[in-house]
Every structure is written in structure tokens, then in C-alpha cells.
A and B are shown apart, each in its own frame.
Chain A
Amino acid sequence: MAHIEVAEDIVSDTFLAATEIWSTKGLPDNPRAWLYTVAKNKTKNYLKRDALFQQKLSPEIQYDTADTEEFELDLSVKNIGDSQLAMIFTVCNPQISTESQVALALNLLCGFGIQEIADAYLTNKEVVYKRLNRAKEKLKELNISIGQPSLTEIHLRMDNVLTTLYLLFSEGYYSMAQNTTLRRDFCTEAMRLVYMLTDHDHTNLPKVNALLSLMCFHASRFDARSDQNGEAILYQDQDESLWNMELIDRGKYYLGLSATGGQLSKYHLEAGIAYWHTHKEDTPEKWDQILQLYNNLLILEYSPIVALNRTFALAKANGKRAAIAEAEKLKLTDNHFYYSLLGNLYTDIDNTVALQHYQQALTMAVSNAEKLTISRHIQQLGGVPGNEYGI
């Protein structure tokens, strides 16, 4: 881990050289091979220089330069794959915070620049820069070497790796950032990394396939879930012809592969929920199934947002009145989604109460997109959405 900055510098140098040379001499026949060769030579030079430097500075250290003369970098597809796998397990280290793990993965594994990460997080470069540096320092401090994870390490660390990759995906999928291309790239990169885990025997576990399936189903709706202005389009209003059928099929394929072994992970349950959402038509079976999956997901692990979604599914399966009784027991009064849900449930049951809940949600919502959605509900109910929009 100590040489990570050197490696990053070599990569930057290589790309700089490429920009200079390619712009004057034109693109080489095989740009990829060109980049690898240049990076390889720069690495060799660095190692020689570094060895020389070490010898002169500390002659007592016996450094065998012959080693670096013979040094051959293995840049085969297999070795690159293995190295990336090793790197995932290095980066997803529970000794550093989860958000740092995600930032490191974005930077080191997916090659996103600090500015891009800052854009996605809606923060500035300094914050991301500090976060990355702290995380790298911590990994150095812990003296972690980047090596193939052992079976025990895979067993112990896998859940952490999957959480980080899922967060990386969510960062792209749910980010409030306007830059759709960047957000899509985050999702694609997360999927690439999970795909890589399925490509190695020891990490090709049922729950890994379940996570990949889940990501495929979610990603299939990427084009349908926002309009040209980046405004969110709710699930029930989406144009299903924009759903990506190829990704839905991939999702089903990995869901099939995940259905082995005795462990039912939360990714299995979430993939199941996402699978049913690829059926646009509302049938009693669809919502019964979704409700049961949400029940099981909550029994496995509580989360407020899952509790709210479960109650929405309950309304679809058993009617709004049954759901209202359950919703009012949740008491998630510091969550604006709670009031949006109550607003939704009371609509057509008691529109005055519905309006009150939506008004409350509006005062608590943070992002403009959310405020816009809530305001629209308020207008539909014939209310005035407050001063902010002056309607």
C-alpha cells in the first residue's frame, strides 16, 4: 500500500506522455499496448532509480539490483483481474470508514478523479482529497500489503466488500448530482467490480450473484427514472418502453445463479423485490410477493426506508386502510418520507389529512427534486404548497 502514490504518478505520467505524443504523431496501432509498454518502462525506471537511491543513501542496506534488471511486469488479463480482486479486498477494509472505502474504491479501482467524486457527493475537492488521504494513510499505517485474499479473508471480508460495492452503486443511482453521465459511470463501475467477483471461483458466491442481479434490475430503469431536466419520474409514471430489457434479462440470469446454497442474504431479497418491479402491471400476486420480501428483509435487518417501503407494499396488497394503521405505528417523525407516505395513504381516504402530511413533508424535504414532487401532490389535492413556489 506504501507505493500507491508512485503507481498513481506513473499512470498520470503515462497518460500525459500519451496526450503529448499522440497529438503530434497520431494514435498508435494498438493504444492499449502502447500505454502498457510505456507504463511498464516507467515502472522499471522508477524501480532502478529507487534502488540506486536507496543504495547511495543507505549503503548498509544490501539491495540486489539484479532483481530489478530481471524484473518483468505481468500485465496479462488474468493477472490484472487478480490484482484488481486483491485491491478490492484491500480497499474494503473495515478499519477505515465505509464512506472512505467507497471513495477509495471510486478513486483507485474505478479511476475517478477527485473532482468527479466531489461532484457526485455534491461537495468540494478538498473534502474528497482529505478523505482519500486519511484513508490511504490509515492503510499504510496498518501496513497492509496488497495480496490475493485467502479463503478465510474472503469469508470474513465478503459482506464488507459487498456493502461497499452496493454503496458505490447507490452513490451513482441515487445521487442528487445533475451529471447523469457520471452517475451512470459509477453504476457501471460498481457492476463491473461485482461481475469481477463472479468471475473468480472463490468469490463467485450466491450472494454476489444476487447483488449483481439486483444491480442489473435497478440499472434497467436508469433511462426511465428521470426526464431531460434531471427531474425524478416516479415508478408508476415511468415509460416502460425505456426499461432496458437486456439488463432485465441479465438480472434474471444472475438471480437464477444466486438461488443455490442455504443462505438467504438481503441481496437475494432485494433482488427479488427489484425483479417484481420489472413487471409494470399491478397484480395482487406482484404486491403480495413484494410485501413478503419486504417482511423478510425487515426481519433480517431493520432500516427506516425499508419499513416505509414495506408499508407502501402493504397498501398495494391489502388496501390503504390496513396500511394506515401500520404506518402510524412506525413513528418515523424525523423522516420526511414518512409524511410523504402518510400523505399518499390518506389521499382519497381523507384528503384534508393527506394535505397536512404533505405540507409537513414539504417543510422537511431537503433536495429540490423532492420538494417539487411533494408540491405536485399538494397541488393535486388542491392545496397551496407554501411560499417557496408562490403558486
Chain B
Amino acid sequence: MNDFLLIFRRDFTNKEAQPSPEELQNSITDWQNWFGGIAAQNKLARPLQRWDISGKVVKSDKNVINGPFVEIKESIGGLIVIKAESYEDAVEIAQGCPILEFGGNVEIRMATEPEG
């Protein structure tokens, strides 16, 4: 088993891309069930953590701007660390992520040890 970082991104700014309040309400149950399903397999590697949705970005000129990084279309909605056998296993879990329902995506990164 390895640790895998799952980062959920979607477009939070474009008005047309936003789900309705009912859709959002229903998706809370989907998220809970998805987390519960991962936990039921004992594949949650870290306690769940909520993250502030806006945050700050430090730019290359060291200037700081408020809000999430939006120079690409999507910004981070959240992230979790899971335990999985392989990328395939992690992909299968990520395919159940409710963010996909709203046109979002999940980026997966396996934890690695320093080489040597």
C-alpha cells in the first residue's frame, strides 16, 4: 500500500459552470458516501481536513494575491490522502469522486520516498 494524494479541482468562478443550490445540497450526501466508502475499505491515510476556499497565492515576483490560483480554469476544491495498492486502484477510487459530476477533475500523485 502506498499513499496517494487526490486533488479535486473544478471551475468555481464561471457563473454558467456552477451547480444549483439543490445540486450542491444533494452532492453533500454524495461526498459523505464517497468518503465513507473509502474509509470503509480502511484506505483513508490521513484524517479529513477542510481547506479554506479562497486562500492566497505567492507569485514569482513574491507579490501576494488573495484568492485561489485561477490562472488555469479550475482551482482546488479540496484534497485527501488515501492508501491504495497502485495507481490503478487509486484511479478506481477517484472515478467515484463527486467532483466529476460538476465537470471537475481529480489529480492523483503517489507519495514517494527521497531517492538513494
Q: Which A residues are closer than 8 A to B by beta carbons?
A: 288, 291-292, 294-296, 298-300, 302, 306-307, 310-311, 314, 318, 326, 329-331
Q: Complex formed: what's the CA distance from A307 to B33 in Å?
A: 12
Is B39 engaged at the interface, CB distance under 8 Å to the other chain? yes
Of the residues B35, B40, B44, contact of A330 by C-beta under 8 Å: B40
A291 touches B37 (CB 8 A): no
Residues in B neighbouring A329, C-beta threshold 8 A: 37, 40-41
Best-surrounded residue of A291, A292, A298, A311 (most CB of chain B within 10 A): A298
Residues in B neighbouring A294, C-beta threshold 8 A: 36
Of the residues A292, A298, A318, contact of B40 by C-beta under 8 Å: A298
Chain A nearest CB, measured from B105 CB (Å): 22
Q: Complex formed: what's the CA distance from A302 to B46 in Å?
A: 12
A295 touches B42 (CB 8 A): no
Per-residue interface assignment for chain B, residues 18 to 40, with 1 indicating a CB less than 8 Å from any chain A CB and 0 otherwise: 00000000000100110111011
Interchain Cβ contacts under 8 Å between A and B, 15 examples: A291-B33, A295-B32, A295-B39, A296-B36, A298-B40, A298-B44, A302-B40, A306-B40, A307-B40, A307-B41, A311-B40, A326-B37, A326-B40, A330-B41, A331-B41
Is B57 engaged at the interface, CB distance under 8 Å to the other chain? no
Is B48 engaged at the interface, CB distance under 8 Å to the other chain? yes
Q: Complex formed: what's the CA distance from A299 to B42 in Å?
A: 9
Closest residue of B by beta carbon distance from A301: B39
- CB-CB under 8 A for A299 and B33, given A307-B40, A329-B41, A330-B40: no
- CB-CB under 8 A for A299 and B36, given A288-B29, A292-B29, A307-B42: yes
Q: Complex formed: what's the CA distance from A330 to B44 in Å?
A: 13
Q: Complex formed: what's the CA distance from A159 to B48 in Å?
A: 21
Residues in B neighbouring A310, C-beta threshold 8 A: 36, 40
Of the residues A292, A302, A306, A326, contact of B44 by C-beta under 8 Å: A302
Closest residue of B by beta carbon distance from A300: B47
Closest residue of A by beta carbon distance from B35: A299
Closest residue of B by beta carbon distance from A318: B33
Chain A nearest CB, measured from B90 CB (Å): 13
Closest residue of A by beta carbon distance from B44: A299
A299 touches B37 (CB 8 A): no
Q: Complex formed: what's the CA distance from A291 to B48 in Å?
A: 18
Q: Complex formed: what's the CA distance from A299 to B80 in Å?
A: 12
Q: Complex formed: what's the CA distance from A330 to B32 in Å?
A: 17
Q: Complex formed: what's the CA distance from A302 to B36 in Å?
A: 10
Chain B nearest CB, measured from A306 CB (Å): 8
Chain A nearest CB, measured from B46 CB (Å): 11
Of the residues B29, B39, B41, contact of A299 by C-beta under 8 Å: B39
Chain A nearest CB, measured from B20 CB (Å): 21
B36 touches A298 (CB 8 A): yes
